[in-house]
């Protein structure tokens, strides 16, 4: 079996299945972007994958932040977490805009940056809130129901052509 650019591992699990599934999808989209760049696929495909990455990331971060707010997560930690999310979205949005508007190519350097940022964010920042929520005994059931429904609605609204990671 061929090795993927970004392998999901169980050590990345935060113990909340819905969040883990969303993280796995982000990993899949990043892998698809890597393949598109490596195989020099058309600009249209690369743009669609970048657009999907930006859109899915924003949705995931919004749901994750709702979980932290619902759980009464430490306000200072929440603010720092939210700040990391904003910086990441800004970075991928800037990359997508450069590609789209200026015709600059997506480099492996950017893809590596995205991979390492996401990996570090999950393993450190997300694990921190997961541990805090478990220690407090917070039940994620209501949030999971809400998040699953929100993601299903989002999927239904997303044109099939924008779901590039699904063909991986």
Which residue segments constitute the domains of the chain, with CATH numbers given? 16-159 (1.20.120.50)
Q: Tokens 């609204």, residue?
A: 157
pLDDT band of 156, cuts 50, 70, 90: confident
Phi, psi of 25 (to 5 degrees): -65, -40
Can you give the pLDDT at residue 167?
A: 44
pLDDT, tens digit (0-9, with 9 covering 90-100), for 19-37: 999 999 999 999 999 999 8
Closest C-alpha to 27, from 8, 3, 50: 8
Q: Could you tell me how many residues make up the chain? A: 168
Q: C-alpha 98: how far from its chain's center?
A: 20
Can you give the pLDDT at residue 166?
A: 52
Tell me what the mean pLDDT of segment 110-123 comes to: 92
Q: Which two tokens stand for residue 70?
A: 């619902």
What is the DSSP track for 111-149? HHHHHHHHHHIIIIIIHHHHHHHHHHT---HHHHHHHHH
Can you give the pLDDT at residue 143?
A: 92
Can you give the pLDDT at residue 118?
A: 94
| Residues 6 or more apart whose Cβ sits within 8 Å of residue 35 | 5, 41, 168
Tell me what the mean pLDDT of segment 1-17 comes to: 87
CA angle (28, 22, 6) in 5-degree steps:
30
pLDDT band of 163, cuts 50, 70, 90: low
pTM: 0.87
Q: Which two tokens stand for residue 153?
A: 């609605």
Can you give the pLDDT at residue 164?
A: 44
- CA–CA dist 52, 157 (Å, integer): 13
pLDDT, tens digit (0-9, with 9 covering 90-100), for 52-80: 888 899 999 999 999 999 999 999 999 99
Q: Tokens 């990331």, residue?
A: 57
């Amino acid at each position: 079996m061929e090795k993927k650019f970004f392998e999901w591992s169980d050590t990345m699990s935060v113990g909340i299945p819905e969040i883990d599934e969303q993280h796995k999808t982000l990993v899949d989209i990043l892998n698809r972007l890597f393949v598109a760049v490596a195989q020099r696929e058309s600009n249209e495909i690369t743009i669609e994958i970048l657009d999907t990455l930006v859109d899915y990331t924003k949705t995931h971060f919004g749901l994750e932040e709702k979980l932290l707010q619902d759980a009464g997560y430490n306000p200072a930690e929440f603010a720092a977490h939210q700040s990391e999310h904003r910086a990441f979205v800004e970075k991928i949005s800037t990359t997508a805009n450069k590609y789209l508007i200026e015709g600059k190519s997506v480099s492996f350097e950017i893809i590596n940056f995205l991979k390492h940022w996401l990996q570090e964010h999950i393993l450190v920042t997300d694990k921190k809130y997961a541990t805090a929520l478990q220690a407090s005994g917070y039940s994620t059931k209501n949030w999971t129901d809400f998040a699953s429904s929100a993601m299903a609605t989002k999927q239904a609204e997303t044109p099939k052509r924008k779901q590039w990671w699904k063909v991986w």
